[in-house]
Amino acid sequence: MAKTAVKVENVSVMFNLNKEKIDNIKEYVIKFLKRKIRFTEFWALTDVSFEVKEGERIGILGFNGAGKSTLLKVIAGVLKPTKGSVEVNGVIAPLLELGAGFDMNYSGSENIYLYGATMGYSRKYIEERYQQIVDFAELGEFIDVPVKNYSSGMRARLGFAIATAVDPQVLILDEVLSVGDAKFKKKSEAKIMSMFDKGVTVLFVSHNTAQVRRLCTKAVLLEKGRVIASGTADEVCDIYDSKVKSK
């Protein structure tokens, strides 16, 4: 029997949405002290449960606002669930908002070390993989240019190159295979596939059901923060595709 890599149990996530526009901190403090701030509870996820065995690749589908990215952030440890629990066994590599941790005033080279540190990599680890990261990102002489002068695609490519320089047991992908031009998309998918070949467990968010069918063994469909279908990738993709056609 394969061991459990990820276990999501009765997870719910609630956000407080401010009903009023508050322009500054002073106004916020005054209204807070007078108890005049009103919030609306928004449940991004409600009672979500599923289990992923080692080596399985699970696709997470759903329309915009279904709670897919929130779910991945909870599994990655970026967000804490309001209710429920998440158990992850093994080294986790979350490829979520690529390049979100960059300092825009630092060069690409400096950000490799900075971004690597935020992901828990040692300086020695990054030094050993530095040239591999630079070559994969295809930034050439731009590696010594401040990141504020990069296009969004260049930042995402560099973020992808750093994040995939690790050998994880659990890989979390949030639409990252849409990074860059056609050539880089093919290259990034080949990189991910090489990680698949090593038996890594994968959680993959995508609106592309053809991609989910090709890359995943199982899938989960979210709607308004709830799991409405789970099963093989083909079964769940069929349900999602039918919902797309009926919209």
Question: What CATH number is associated with residue 65?
Answer: 3.40.50.300
- Claim to verify: residue 35 and residue 135 sit in the same structural domain: no
Residue that is last in its domain, among 109, 138, 166 = 166
Count the domains in the chain: 2
Mean pLDDT, range 135-159, rounded to an integer: 89
- Claim to verify: residue 62 and residue 171 sit in the same structural domain: yes
- Claim to verify: residue 103 and residue 63 sit in the same structural domain: no
pLDDT at position 235 is: 96
Residue that is last in its domain, among 166, 200, 221 = 166
DSSP 94-137: EESSTTTT--TTSBHHHHHHHHHHHTT--HHHHHHHHHHHHHHH
- Claim to verify: residue 178 and residue 215 sit in the same structural domain: yes
For the cut 70, the answer to whether the pLDDT of residue 18 exceeds it is: no
SS3 at position 92: strand
Are 117 and 195 a contacting pair, CB within 8 Å? Answer: no
Which tens digit of pLDDT belongs to each residue from 95-142? 776 666 688 999 999 999 987 787 777 889 889 999 999 999 988 889
**pTM for the complete prediction?**
0.75
The boundaries of the domain holding residue 118 are 99-166
Query: Which value, in Å, is the radius of gyration of the alpha carbons in the chain?
Result: 20
The packing angle between helices 108-118 and 123-137, to 10°, is: 130
What b-and-e string marks burial along 5-15, b requiring 16 or more CB atoms within 10 Å of the CB? bbbbeebbbee
Mean pLDDT, range 86-98, rounded to an integer: 80
- Claim to verify: residue 75 and residue 185 sit in the same structural domain: yes
Residue that is last in its domain, among 146, 166, 186 = 166
pLDDT at position 161 is: 87
- Claim to verify: residue 159 and residue 179 sit in the same structural domain: no
**Least reliable range by pLDDT among 12-16, 163-167, 202-206:** 163-167
Strands 226-232 and 83-88: unpaired
pLDDT at position 36 is: 63
- Claim to verify: residue 162 and residue 172 sit in the same structural domain: no
- Claim to verify: residue 161 and residue 183 sit in the same structural domain: no
Longest Cα separation, the chain: 59
What b-and-e string marks burial along 166-185, b requiring 16 or more CB atoms within 10 Å of the CB? bebbbbbbbbbbebbeeebe
Mean pLDDT, range 162-175, rounded to an integer: 81
Are 24 and 171 a contacting pair, CB within 8 Å? Answer: no
For the cut 80, the answer to whether the pLDDT of residue 21 exceeds it is: no
pLDDT at position 199 is: 85
- Claim to verify: residue 81 and residue 116 sit in the same structural domain: no
pLDDT at position 105 is: 93
pLDDT at position 23 is: 62
Mean pLDDT, range 166-179, rounded to an integer: 74
What amino acid occupies position 169?
Answer: Q
